[in-house]
Structure 1
Amino acid sequence: MKFTIIRRLTALVCSVSLLGLLCACAGANDSASRNGAGKGGFADRTLSVFMGRGPAADVIKASLPEFESETGLRVDLQIFSNEQLSTKLTVQLDADSSSPDVFMLRPLEELKLFHKNGWLLPLDDYVRRDADYEFGDFSPSAIDSTTDNGQLLSIPLSTEQQILYYRKDLLQKAGIPVPRTLDELEEAAAKLHDPQNGVYGFVARGQKNALVTQLSSFIFSEGGDFQTGGRASLNSPDTVKGMTRYVNLLKRYGPPGVMNMGWPQAMGIFAQGKAAFYTDASAIYSSAADPDKSAVADKVGYALFPAGQAGAKPFNITAWGMAINAASAKKEAAWTFLRWATSKDLVMRSQQKGNPGARSSVWNDPQGVSGFPKEYIAVVNESIRSGVGHDRPQVISVGDARDVVGDIVIKGLLGEDVQESADKANIEFQLIMDRDNQK
């Protein structure tokens, strides 16, 4: 953690009882907020909040007047694109700025780095002391995404699960049941693979970096993981089996040019009616279900990710979380905002606008799922129960690690031996982990 001279002096002063008054002054911003004139006990103060574009930000922005009226706080909400948000946060936080007080982040990409730099305020005490917040309502795997070294550092805002999309009409015509296992998925993809008539058995992401998150559920369901017990495990038998599954499906039954496909391209193939099966995140389902975007909108089915030898273990992750700046001078006020923004009421409103939240009660409330297909709701609920809380290597240098993992699949698609590639990649990945631990 970065410590400035001022912070060191403040800590020293606070340790001397005769100068206790000066310590109290150091917290004046928060105490002023707590004892102010607002209905919620806050003075007319302003919080700075950074968010990324999306339904959650839209709902929070529209609901701000009621929050400000109830608390006496004013919120300076700034909304950025994903790339702008990451850049802006890095610049602000690296400069030890007290602004923003609250911000969105991508936990599985940024949480470990931000925590290592001391930029995130631990939230364990806040949720522990606040029974009315009902923290236990959040799914455990979503919370796993926002926790590092046993500390809660962010609250889930939106979630994703890996699911299986399929063409109902093609399966019905061929008399094939919806695959429940990865063996059945391979068999069904082989039977429905008909490139001469413009239909491929399977499609998914094939770009080196982008594919890693969708590869994860294949690995988990075979009993593997990217790392085990603090060591790289890319070349373990179970991990290699999951990778080989993914390679075989894409290589044997995928469309041409799959190595250039991220989710928009892969979803495009499926939405055009050119693939029988597609695995990807649940959050992008509207691209398949919306008649304005999909030629097969009325033919799309949703299923739980198929089981491997370890069962069905799709990822269930926090795609976006909200955190408090450790350097904020208004931590109590910041928690009041964060508590409100992730409350049942706001999660309900946000989910009704298409943002999948992490509160189980909202997913089990008819109002909370009113905008989603019935079949989809059941799949998401089951994925939440059985899901794994990460979908990529859990390291600081996530981008480098993803490239190393993705390269194994690329080499497999090019005809190289997956086990041999995994053995080499495992050495590279362990070096990344060791380097991160030395930072």
Structure 2
Amino acid sequence: MSSVQPPPTSSLESAASAQPTGADGIQRSHIRQLLAASAGNALEWFDWYSYALLVVYFSPLFFPDTGDKMVPLLGAMAIFAVGFFARPIGGLVIGMLADKFGRKAMLSSTVIGMGVGSLVIGISPTYAQVGVIAPMLLVVARLLQGASAGGEYAAGSAFLIESAPEGRRGFFSSFFYISATLANLTAIVFAAVLANTLSSDAMASWGWRIPFVVGALAAVVGYWIRHHAEETLDNESSDEVGRKKVGMFDFMREHPKQALQIFGLTAAPALVFYIWTSYLPTYASITVDFDIKKGLITGAISLAVFLLLQPLFGLLSDRVGRRPMLIAFGLFFVFGTVPLLNSLTASFTSMLIVQITGLFFIAMWSSISSAIAAELFPARLRSSGIGFPYALAVALFGGTGPYVATWLVDRGQVEMFGWYVVVVAVLSTLVFIRLPETAHKPLP
């Protein structure tokens, strides 16, 4: 008796079916898709990380001197948070368009949006030159970058997981943060080279602009790479009419539980991710007088370890499932955050241990986040279902994390930030425990 085979879930799978397959089950077309997704994503996140790394240099140029060195930093971090609040808009609109017209076109547009925002930052005049227009230009640039980043995760997660062969979705998911981490490492190296070759005056005056201009130029390359990728949303599907009628909030009306799950499973990870990957040296600098230049080195080492963990944890999740790894992540930050932050000192070794320890557990979430999100929604609503709740959680918790930490330090409440992280981690862990296991089920 012959069995009826289900139709392919994407045009990529149909096109790739005749291609040679290696022992690991990954075809050459899959590798090309990974490269397209990873290259564009890395270029976008290089721009994003450069802001967080260089903010201590350019913040005094965009805010008037009040005699309090914390005021410019708080202003610049507030604008950093503004970019995060544009992400839900990008996730909602670009996610819906990706469900209507395909992932490829939207991914090409997000990389250009990020590049334009980076260029605006790189060439913006200072407060001394144009007054209040200077910080306003920063706001516009961050809004554009935020909307692009929100759309990037919405369309990019669907693109990656729909490109994956059966049994490799966790592994393919890890490439989202492999590329993001490579971008972070590149930004750190770039900043470190500039900080150690230019004088302090030159770095504060114009050296900080170089990475933003380079990022804008690299966005053009990212657009070209993505323009030549394969579309993963099946244009031949019988559901095509349904896709064309996708509404902006259809994912919430049809799958409210899944949307809330995406929000919950993103809240704590977003908060600790942005603290540990980019803000921790600044936090240590203003709390224990840590030398921020050493933070570039500890950050590079820690992120290299984080990078290596991504594919390993992605492959592990394909075997043991997603939930055990998420629960391990959650429990660590519930019980380990306060002791870990309290152990920070001004020493290089202390910073390195704290960063590597935190990033080890964060990798348990980051390596599989795209797979979990994509596995909760059907193809018709996958990008929009992922994009808005994920971006909203990132905005509310990840984007505000550095500002909340800086504000608490400024008020003399340093220890309260660790407990804030614990409360958010408890909420996310409760979601992890109730999340259905999706690793070994067919993609909806």
**TM-score for the superposition, normalised by structure 1:** 0.25
**TM-score for the superposition, normalised by structure 2:** 0.24
Going by fraction, where is helix more abundant, 1 or 2?
2
Report the structure number with the largest CA radius of gyration. Answer: 1
